[in-house]
Amino acid sequence: MKVQKRLRPLMGIKEIFRMPTVILLPAFILTCGLFPFVYFVPELNTLRTTLSLGFATCAFGLLIVFVIVIPAVYATILSNNNITTEATILEKGKRPRTLLMSNTQMNVEDEYVIFEFTPQGSSSPIRLDAEVGKLYSKLKEGKQVKIMSASSNPRIVKFIGE
């Protein structure tokens, strides 16, 4: 059976105010505000500056969409039509990942679980992969856990207590 990635909803408004998420909106506003300023200062009015600001604005805009808007839409879908069910934890593990910060590398491990449940109205189970931070120590392989899933899209899942 194919393992799919869980579509994670925004768990609470507090998540938006975590670093570096809280930097995205001011950075987006700043880069948008610099566009008119550049045209009034002749020394800055170059194609290179305009392209750089355009790229930065697009990059911050896309980050806002992927980090805030899409999880917020998933949270709305989940809150409007959720189903509480039980899932079985099939596998639990850690994946190494390397973070590059300035001139240093930092190795971290992402904690994940693979779980399986049968969505309402379906006869076949669905197997999902999810990164779980604070719940990792509470989840055990082979045990049942309570989850909420959206009836319209069973890949939008929230662990109860997450």
Ranges of each domain in the chain: 3-7+82-159, 13-78
Burial of 96 (0-12, 13-18, 19+ CB in 10 A): exposed
**pTM (predicted TM-score):** 0.72
Hey, which CATH number is domain 3-7+82-159, 2.40.50.660, 2.40.50.140, 3.30.70.580, 3.40.50.10490? 2.40.50.660
Are 54 and 39 within 8 A, CB to CB? Answer: no
Per-residue pLDDT of the chain (162 residues; tens, 9 = 90+): 678 888 888 877 777 777 677 787 788 888 888 877 777 777 777 778 778 888 888 888 888 888 888 888 888 888 888 888 899 999 888 888 887 777 787 888 888 889 999 988 888 889 998 888 777 778 889 899 898 898 888 889 988 877
Question: Residue for token digits 């989850």?
Answer: 147
Q: Are 118 and 124 in contact (CB under 8 A)?
A: yes
DSSP-derived pairing of the beta strands 104-117 and 82-101: antiparallel
